[in-house]
């Protein structure tokens, strides 16, 4: 049995169903992210784990114990919110100590635990400060220390980095992951930022319209998307329309260009339209590039992004983007130039 398990969870507010048939099994010590656009139900699922919302139907267990009858304060859960939610009239020390005081822990135990937590987040020198005297990143680290101080079974993080600037977000997410691994705490992280989810998760649950479209490792989610939604939401993706030429030989046509796929197309008939996906980093313009497939087209635009140059080309009415590393000794293609993109046919995915 998994440590944290949600089975066929459904949540409705009146006639509106926001979570439907949601199931996930999370192992002890695992870091799992709920990833999806706004309104997909990810925060609602998190709030049901915390006890702030009650499932309309389905089961929710932690270490085999049914959590549905328990109030939030009866569940051994730590939660970090997007807006920090620190007490403005309390010092850093007192904010971190709050949950321990409510639990009735003795003062010497509280002081020792607070010191340990502030050392963990490297803010022990700021114990006497108030929240308004600290940066956003420092405040969020204090919120994390407060959640961890009570030694929760499960740590819940509700978009904790979205209010911070880009550089702070990157460093803080790495800190969160390092602390989680050090403590071995089961963690659920809610985000709409795919880079965050891909960089720090053991597994990702991609949510769409209240359901889990796919659950897998970052490698699986990015490289083998199970649905059209996952393919388009996670990472940058070229969506290419083609038609089947010979199902038995897995041959398809994009405009007037033939390609033999690695995936089977025997479920289709000749002439059937198919949707294909190709990542921008999969191709190369180099004549020496290894690849058993190619697409020719006209360059539409060239965007210099520093270390990477992103080029868009028109292939039979499809806009195909591809990335190449910036090399000062090789000029990028010019707008209007005819180029050939070479890639492995296994990188061209047939979407369901």
Reported as a single tens digit per residue, the pLDDT across 151-184 is 999 999 999 988 788 888 899 999 999 999 999 9
CA distances from 120 to 62, 94, 144, 331 (A): 26, 16, 10, 48
Q: What confidence score (pLDDT) does residue 232 get?
A: 85
pLDDT more than 90, % of the chain: 78
Question: Degrees (nearest 5) of the Cα angle 343, 344, 345?
Answer: 115
Q: Nearest CA to 296 among 341, 255, 331, 347? A: 341
Q: Which fold has domain 238-350?
A: OB fold (Dihydrolipoamide Acetyltransferase, E2P) (2.40.50)
Sequence length of the chain is 352
Average pLDDT over residues 75-104: 92
Q: How confident is the model at residue 325 (pLDDT cuts 50, 70, 90)?
A: confident
Confidence at residue 55, expressed as pLDDT on a 0 to 100 scale? 96
Query: Which tokens is 187 given?
Result: 């963690």
Order of strands, sheet of 318-325, starting from the edge strand that comes earlier in the sequence: 318-325, 308-315, 293-304, 338-343
| For range 259-268, the mean pLDDT | 92
Rounded to 10°, the helix 107-120/92-102 angle is 130
The Cα–Cα gap between 136 and 138 comes to: 5
Lowest mean pLDDT among 59-63, 74-78, 296-300, 302-306: 302-306
Per-residue pLDDT band at 235 (split at 50, 70, 90): confident
Task: With H, G, I as helix, E, B as strand and everything else as coil, classify residue 227.
Answer: coil
pLDDT-derived band at 187, boundaries 50, 70, 90: very high
- What is the rounded CA–CA span in Å between residue 13 and residue 220? 33
Mean pLDDT (the chain) is: 92
Task: State the Cα angle at 277 between 352 and 288, rounded to 5°.
Answer: 145
Residues 190-231 pLDDT 10s: 999 999 999 999 999 999 999 999 999 999 999 888 888 998
For residues 268 and 345, give the distance between their C-alpha atoms in angstroms, rounded to a whole number: 19
Distance of CA 127 to the CA centre of its chain: 33
Which pLDDT belongs to residue 228?
86
pLDDT interval class at 97 (50, 70, 90): very high
Q: Say yes or no to pLDDT of 96 above 90.
A: yes
- Which ranges in the chain are annotated with CATH 3.40.50.300? 4-233
What value does the mean pLDDT take over residues 47-72? 95
> pLDDT (tens digit, 9 = 90+) per residue, 129-140?
999 999 999 999
pLDDT at 331: 84
> According to the model, what pLDDT value does residue 35 have?
97
What's the confidence (pLDDT) of residue 305?
Answer: 85
**Does the domain formed by 4-233 have CATH 3.90.76.10?**
no
| Closest to 53 (Cα-Cα) out of 138, 204, 170, 156 | 156
Q: Please report the pLDDT score of residue 198 as a whole number.
A: 95
Note the pLDDT of residue 307.
87
Establish how many alpha carbons lie within 13 A of residue 289's alpha carbon, considering only the half-sphere containing its beta carbon: 17
Give the pTM. Answer: 0.87
Check if the beta carbon of residue 11 is closer than 8 Å to that of residue 53. yes
In the predicted structure, residue 352 carries a pLDDT above the cut 80: no
Decide if pLDDT at 274 tops 80.
Answer: yes
More confident of the two residues 35 and 283: 35
Mean pLDDT of 68-73: 92
Q: How confident is the model at residue 311 (pLDDT cuts 50, 70, 90)?
A: very high
Q: Are strands 273-278 and 318-325 parallel, antiparallel or unpaired?
A: unpaired
As annotated, the residues of the chain forming the CATH 2.40.50.100 domain(s) are 238-350
pLDDT of 166: 82
Residue 139's alpha-carbon distances to 181, 192, 244, in angstroms, are: 21, 21, 56
pLDDT of residue 236: 82
């Amino acid at each position: 049995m998994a440590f944290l398990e949600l089975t066929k969870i459904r949540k409705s507010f009146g006639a509106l169903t926001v979570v439907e048939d949601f199931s996930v099994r999370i192992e002890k010590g695992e870091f799992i992210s709920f990833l999806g656009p706004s309104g997909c139900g990810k925060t609602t699922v998190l709030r049901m784990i915390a006890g702030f919302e009650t499932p309309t139907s389905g089961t929710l267990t932690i270490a085999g114990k049914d959590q549905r009858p328990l109030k939030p304060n009866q569940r051994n859960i730590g939660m970090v919110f997007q807006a920090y939610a620190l007490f403005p009239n309390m010092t850093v020390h007192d904010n971190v100590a709050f949950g321990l005081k409510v639990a009735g822990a003795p003062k010497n135990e509280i002081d020792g635990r607070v010191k340990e937590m502030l050392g963990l987040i490297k803010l022990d020198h700021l114990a006497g400060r108030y929240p308004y005297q600290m940066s956003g990143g420092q405040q969020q680290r204090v919120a994390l220390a407060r959640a961890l101080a009570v030694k929760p079974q499960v740590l819940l993080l509700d978009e904790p980095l979205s209010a911070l600037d880009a550089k702070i977000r990157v460093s803080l997410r790495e800190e969160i992951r390092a602390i989680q691994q050090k403590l071995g705490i089961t963690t659920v992280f809610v985000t709409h930022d795919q880079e965050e989810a891909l960089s720090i998760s053991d597994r990702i649950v991609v949510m769409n319209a209240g359901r889990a479209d796919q659950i897998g490792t970052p490698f699986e989610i990015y490289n083998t998307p199970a649905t059209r939604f996952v393919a388009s939401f996670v990472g940058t993706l070229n969506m290419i329309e083609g038609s089947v030429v010979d199902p038995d030989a897995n041959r398809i046509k994009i405009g007037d260009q033939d390609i033999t796929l690695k995936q089977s197309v025997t479920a289709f008939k000749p002439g059937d339209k198919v949707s294909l996906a190709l990542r921008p980093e999969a191709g190369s313009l180099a004549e020496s590039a290894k690849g058993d497939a190619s697409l020719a087209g006209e360059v539409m635009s060239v965007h210099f992004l520093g270390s990477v140059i992103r080029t868009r080309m028109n292939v039979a009415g499809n806009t195909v983007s591809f990335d190449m590393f910036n090399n000062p000794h090789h000029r990028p293609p010019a707008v209007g130039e005819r180029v050939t993109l070479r890639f492995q046919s296994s990188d061209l995915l047939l979407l369901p």
